[in-house]
Amino acid sequence: MSRSAKRTLIALAVVCTLPVIASYLAFYVWKPQDRVNYGELITPTLLPDVSLPAPEGMPPVSRATVEGTWTLVYAGPGACGGSCASAIYAMRQTRVAQRRDMERVSRLWLVTDQAAPAGEVLAAHSDMHVAQADPQWLAAMPGAEQGVHFYLVDPLGYVMMRFPEQADIKRVIKDLERLLKYSALGR
């Protein structure tokens, strides 16, 4: 075999194996650090099929209540102070900002203590489901025991994203818009 034929063969072998090596490195070694979403993606956990008691005059809440819509869930005390009020307000604004997709989003407040939510808070958020939290439901929401967060539950009943209590509303809205745009799930 002539010298130029050997060079051609080696060049051909390098050109053919280079994409395989590059794809291996890209998949197993190089991990992108940037992400598009603001909320923390968590391991999806199915909500338990347990009926939760609601305040007087409101229907009880179960997994069937939240299935079929993307649901923003706030887990916090019934005595709704400043941070609670701002989290519930952020959830409402996030839902309203979806405009024509607003009906694909619902809201749920899980009361984590024995304090009854104030009537004026319930009246201001009449379209929000409210229920007494159950330990099984809280177990499905990672980090609920460490602090107050709000969560996103997909239309199949899986808790899949967590936001900080004092979340940046604009970034939460963008996350939800992106999910609604690319998902056919939900009404």
DSSP assignment string, 52-74: B--STTS--B-HHHHTTSEEEEE
* Angstrom distance (rounded) from CA 117 to CA 167: 22
Q: Is 187 contained in some domain?
A: no
- For the segment 101-125, what is each residue's pLDDT rounded down to a tens digit? 889 999 998 888 888 888 888 888 8
Instruction: Report DSSP state, residue 133.
Output: -
> Is the same domain home to 84 and 109?
yes
In this model, does residue 187 exceed pLDDT 90? no
> Is the same domain home to 29 and 58?
no
Residue with the larger pLDDT of the pair 37 and 59: 59
> Is the same domain home to 111 and 58?
yes
> Is the same domain home to 17 and 78?
no
Q: What pLDDT, on a 0 to 100 scale, did the predictor assign at position 97? A: 92
> Is the same domain home to 92 and 146?
yes
* Angstrom distance (rounded) from CA 116 to CA 55: 7
* Angstrom distance (rounded) from CA 36 to CA 175: 8
What's the whole-model pTM score? 0.78
**Domain extent for 112:** 40-182
- For the segment 5-40, what is each residue's pLDDT rounded down to a tens digit? 888 988 888 889 988 888 888 888 877 666 678 888
Q: Is 133 contained in some domain?
A: yes
Assign 3-state DSSP to the chain and report helix, strand, coil percentages, each to 5. 40, 20, 40
Backbone angles phi, psi at 46, to 5 degrees: -70, 130
